[in-house]
Amino acid sequence: MRAGFHHFRYSPQAVKVATPKETAEDERRVALVPDTATKLIAAGVEVSLEAGAGAGAFVSDDAYEKAGVKLVKGAAALLKDADAVLKVQAPTAGEVELLRKGAVLISFLQPATQGDIVKALAKRGVTAFSLELVPRISRAQSMDALSSQASAAGYKAVLMAAGRLGKFFPMMMTAAGTVAPARVLVMGAGVAGLQAIATARRLGAVVSAYDVRTAVKEEVQSLGATFIELPLEAQEGEGGYAREQTEEFLHKQRELIGEHVAKSDVVITTAAIPGRRAPLLVTADMVKGMRPGSVIVDLAAETGGNVELTKAGEDVEAGGVIIIGTRNVPSTMPLHASQLLARNVANLLLHLVKDGAITLDFEDEITKGCCVTHGGEIVNERAKQSIGAAS
Ligand code: NAD
């Protein structure tokens, strides 16, 4: 950060906040909901929205208007004088051109795969904040969109599996006999995995889980699942995350977890290392060992997949086993996913608003941590690294 740039205060007029309609294919979420609009308006912010932006999440223009939101037709008219823009997905190159110089943008940015967009935002003079880079500290929990969306994904993964499995999840005692409960294995017990465990338990399945961070053992057990302990060294890294594992470690892990995979009716994989390709946990051979009719949901599909056979955005069948690689799972639950995401986004925006004006304090861990572009430059070291690594 350049000296003298630590504090940035924008004009004292009411901050104008705008939310355009998402344009990415299959994106049904929206970054503003009527509740968060009310909260922003109460903080002295002027709130506008592109007409129809809530439709995918089942929120009508009417509901926004009742909350005091100004509806604008078309993104160009909406964005031309917006001080802050709230979005779900990173803008396209065309959308970047609609942002005014000096505007603040809050959205997912995926700096690792969207290097060109990040560069375009810098060039345009936009101050962009990436939701992925909000530090995982307790003060920022209310802004943690990765967690809120991971919860939605973990929940939905179980429902997708249950919808495809030719078995009941719970044990059933019927006049026609007793049915054994389904066996669910969750690999990766972070936010998504824990939500998947809780959901599968609520549906009555027998659940076991594995994670390379043994710190999650008690959380897994408190949800009524069995924590699988493998004779492997824990892979705890910085900030509560897993560290990147060696191929040798992953090879051993696959060998040891194989028998658990083979016994499962449903496997849900959620394993991730921040900023890296997802680790390979389930090989094609391991899938061969599963009973026909079993279902795998790979929540890491978009970052390379935890399962060798996964195809992002598709369902694959191999030897009677279905491997679900749905992209953007949170968007398939657009109402609640938007509600939670909009709260995260509004909290981050309000973090930047002091006395009715956008005030950027680059000494602040949250502001500094997730600001990616400012003053014409890419200012975030993590973003710079991931853009460098990808290009
Ligand atoms: P993530 O999405 O990066 O990864 C998902 C899970 O995969 C993690 O639990 C990770 O340990 C696991 N994993 C990685 N490699 C694996 C492998 N080879 N086999 C099995 N599992 C593997 O993680 P996340 O869900 O974002 O959360 C990570 C941690 O951060 C959790 O402990 C969570 O509680 C913590 N967290 C803290 C805060 C906060 O303090 N504000 C907020 C959110 C999450």
Cβ(146) – ligand 1 distance below 6 Å:
yes
Residue 383 has a pLDDT of: 81
Is residue 3 very low, low, confident or very high in pLDDT (cuts 50, 70, 90)? very low
Q: Is 141 in the active site? A: yes
Does the C-beta of 34 come closer than 6 Å to ligand 1? no
Q: What is the pLDDT, as a whole number, of residue 2?
A: 45
Q: Is 328 left (phi over 0), alpha (psi -120 to 50) or beta?
A: left
State the average pLDDT over residues 200-222. Answer: 97
Listed residue (110, 116, 193) closest to 145, CA to CA: 110
- 273 Cβ below 6 A of ligand 1: yes
- Sheet of 357-361, strand order: 7-9, 357-361, 353-354
pLDDT at 390: 61
Residue to mutate (ligand 1; options 241, 270, 307; most atoms within 8 A of CB)? 241
| Token pair for 265 | 């009716």
Binding site membership of 188 for ligand 1 (Cβ less than 6 Å): yes
Whether 254 is a known active-site residue: answer: no
Mean pLDDT of 19-42: 97
> Would the CB of 242 count as within 6 Å of ligand 1?
yes
**Residues 6 or more apart whose Cβ sits within 8 Å of residue 126:** 96, 99, 101, 102, 103, 104, 105, 373
Note if 149 is an active site residue. no
Share of the chain above pLDDT 70, in %: 96
| Average pLDDT over every residue of 218-232 | 96
For ligand 1, say whether the CB of 191 is within 6 Å of any of its atoms: yes
Active site residue 155: no
Q: What is the mean pLDDT of residues 291-317?
A: 97
C-alpha 199 – ligand 1 centre gap (Å): 18
pLDDT mean across residues, the chain: 94
Supply the residue whose CA is at minimum distance from atom 30 of ligand 1.
240
Return the pLDDT at 356. Answer: 87
Cα 350 from Cα 145, distance rounded (Å)? 15
Confidence label for 34 from pLDDT (cuts 50, 70 and 90): very high
The residue nearest atom 9 of ligand 1, judged by CA position, is 190
pLDDT digits (tens, 9 = 90+) for 323-367: 999 999 999 999 999 999 999 999 999 999 998 899 999 999 999
> By C-alpha distance, which of 182, 159, 160 is closest to 169?
182
* Catalytic residue flag (residue 382): no
From the list 136, 201, 213, 276, the catalytic residue is 136
Q: What's the pLDDT at 237?
A: 85
Q: Predicted confidence band at 70 (pLDDT cuts at 50, 70, 90)?
A: very high
**Which residue out of 83, 144, 265, 298 is catalytically annotated?**
144
Quick: pLDDT tens for 112-148.
Answer: 888 999 999 999 999 999 999 999 999 999 999 999 9
141, 221, 222, 385: the active-site residue: 141
Out of 147, 201, 276, 315, pick the active-site residue.
147
pTM check: above 0.85: yes
Check whether 387 has a pLDDT greater than 90: no
Residue nearest to atom 25 of ligand 1 (CA): 190
Answer yes or no: is the C-beta of 210 below 6 A from any ligand 1 atom: yes
Tokens, residue 13: 């007029």
Helices 34-42 & 334-352 angle (0-180, nearest 10): 10
Mean pLDDT along residues 238-267: 93
